[in-house]
Amino acid sequence: MLLRCGEFGRILGAAVFAAVVCCGPAVGDADPFVTPPSLVGHVDFWKQIFSTYSRDQIVIHDTENPSRIYSILDFSAQAKSLSEGALRKEVRRAEKAEKARIRGVLEKLQRNPDSSRLSVEEMRIRSLLQDDPRPDRYRLAAGEKRVRSQRGVRERFMQGLRRSRRYIRRMEEVFRSEGVPVGLTRLPLVESSFNTHAYSKVGAAGMWQFMPATGRKFLRIDGGVDERLDPMVSTRAAARFLRQNYERLGHWPLAITAYNHGPAGMERAVRSVGTVDLGKIVAEYESRTFGFASKNFYTEFLAALEIDSDYESYFGPMALDSEEDADEVELAHFVSVRSIGPCVGSLDDWKSLNPAVRPAAFQGKRWLPRGYRVRLRGGEGPEFRRCYDGLPSSAKRASHPVLERVHRVRSGETLLKIARRYRVSMESIRRANRLRNRNLIRIGQKLKIPGAGVVAASAPTRKAAAPHRVTHRVTRGQTLAQIGRRYGRSVESLRRANGLRDANRIRVGQRLRIPAR
């Protein structure tokens, strides 16, 4: 249900936001995915990346106007003769050299654009910027962040198209039932190429690439099951998340961009620029977190949607995967994978149909939760139900049994504190870990925690809850704002928790404490 304009103004405290958003199109509009005129070139660029350039080709282009392509580096020949590691080194070296060359040409043109001594290559690059009226256009284009390289993904995109047909019909049914345009079922072509096992460097997972913090709003994510990896359960979660974005922002281009940049981030962009025109936002909004990926997310989707609708024009005839024929049975109890093993036939087949089940469940360290929908090959559902009903009562629990867990010792912890947290005796921990002296444990040590009772009894008590239970190791390219969004914390709370004087200065490999809510 859409919020009224007055509610937007009251909640956001920004009249301009309410004024420009509240007249957006309805969910059922015939063409919800408009292309802003200023972004037509962006869409064309991504169509080329998806359908023309291979993984062995590197496109050197301008970030402000991606369709301004300076050069193409082709490593097809090297890919046949070099090892993967050697090829990566060669690509990095050539990319760096080519971007430096392009910057040099642009800087030369800025000094003397009308020189009669320009080479053919220099005149070609000059012609690429002839529509830019700014007098310092060459200097701006030579900026460090303006000259960028992009690898072609033709092969990966084709693979995503093939895989998509396993799920697309049922995905469209889910999106219709949630009141979301079915064209958005093609978004995984951009996010993951429909790979249910996809993981990103920053922790996003599954076909829809949910981050843990966002995923937990809609899905079960724990040691036994990660529903981000379930193709259909995550699809319903994605539909609901996208619908929430639309109800919050009022326009599908904004809602889709918010899938990458976050709805709060898009609200800030709208307030800052004073418009819901995504083309103007991309051109004018300045933010450290609103980078190339966020600015191009919507146009990548448009390009993927257009190619999908007429894929044979781009790739010729293709053999697409058949629709997955699967039955689903909802578990009425907590059960172990070992217990239901005789009911599922081939374990390898069952693993491929249930990618959400984590290794800990197959290893017997976690049980499948009540309510989990087991996926089976088509027609196997009735036989599974009969087998499941015949399992002994000891194999089916109303709550998760506590099995042996592992605890990593943190600064300031004692064996007494750890025992109280898990509601077990110090002596049982000492015996399970063969500790000679229960007072000698070290930071980082892994302790086996023997089980007793049910999971509810193992939750940390309020008294034992530590104020900084989570740490994060900074990876290349991350900012404090990105880390904050991942864990649902503010930049200021992270800065205070880690004693940072400057929130903009964190280093790769640095460990940051994530404050408790």
Sequence-ordered strand ranges (E) for 314-387: 326-330, 373-377
Q: What is the chain's Cα-based Rg?
A: 27
Helix (H), strand (E), coil (C) string for 261-311 = HCHHHHHHHHHHHCCCCHHHHHHHCCCCCCCHHHHHHHHHHHHHHHHHHCH
pTM for the full predicted model: 0.74
How much is the pLDDT for 404?
A: 64
Which CATH superfamily, name and number, covers 470-514? Answer: LysM domain (3.10.350.10)
Range with top average pLDDT, 196-205, 461-470, 482-491:
196-205
> Which CATH number is 5-34+155-315 given?
1.10.530.10
Give 476-482 contacts, CB < 8 A, sequence gap 24+: 476/508, 478/202, 478/506, 479/288, 479/289, 479/504, 479/506, 480/504, 480/506, 481/288, 481/289, 482/202, 482/289
Q: Which uninterrupted H or E stretch holds 449?
A: strand 446-449
Residue 148: beta bridge partners? 61
Q: What average pLDDT does the segment 259-268 reach?
A: 96
What is the per-residue pLDDT across 11-23, written as a single tens digit (0 to 9) for each?
A: 344 444 444 444 4
Is residue 486 scored above 80 in pLDDT?
no
Tell me: pLDDT of 227 over 70.
yes
Q: Can you tell me the distance from the alpha carbon of 180 to that of 8, in angstroms, rounded to the nearest whole number?
A: 21
* Domain boundaries 405-458, corresponding CATH code: 3.10.350.10
Domain ranges of the chain: 5-34+155-315, 56-151, 326-395, 405-458, 470-514
Predicted pLDDT of residue 517: 62
Instruction: Please tell me which residue, 515 or 219, carries the higher pLDDT value.
Output: 219
Note whether 76 and 151 are within 8 A (CB).
no
What confidence score (pLDDT) does residue 263 get? Answer: 95
Q: What is the model's pLDDT at position 498?
A: 85
Write out pLDDT tens, residues 420-473: 887 788 888 888 888 887 778 888 898 988 764 333 333 333 333 344 457 888
Point out the catalytic residue in the list 98, 144, 178, 191: 191
Q: Is 383 a catalytic residue?
A: no
pLDDT value of position 30: 58
Please determine whether the domains at 405-458 and 470-514 fall in the same fold group of CATH.
yes
More confident residue, 138 or 223: 138
Q: What is the pLDDT of residues 501-514, one digit of tens each?
A: 877 888 888 888 88
- Tell me what pLDDT residue 232 has: 93
- Tens digit of each residue's pLDDT (9 = 90 or more) over 118-176: 999 999 999 999 999 999 999 999 998 999 999 999 999 999 999 999 999 999 999 99
402 vs 179, 340, 450, 463, CA distance in Å? 40, 19, 8, 21
Helix 40-51 vs helix 154-164: angle between axes, to the nearest 10 degrees?
A: 90
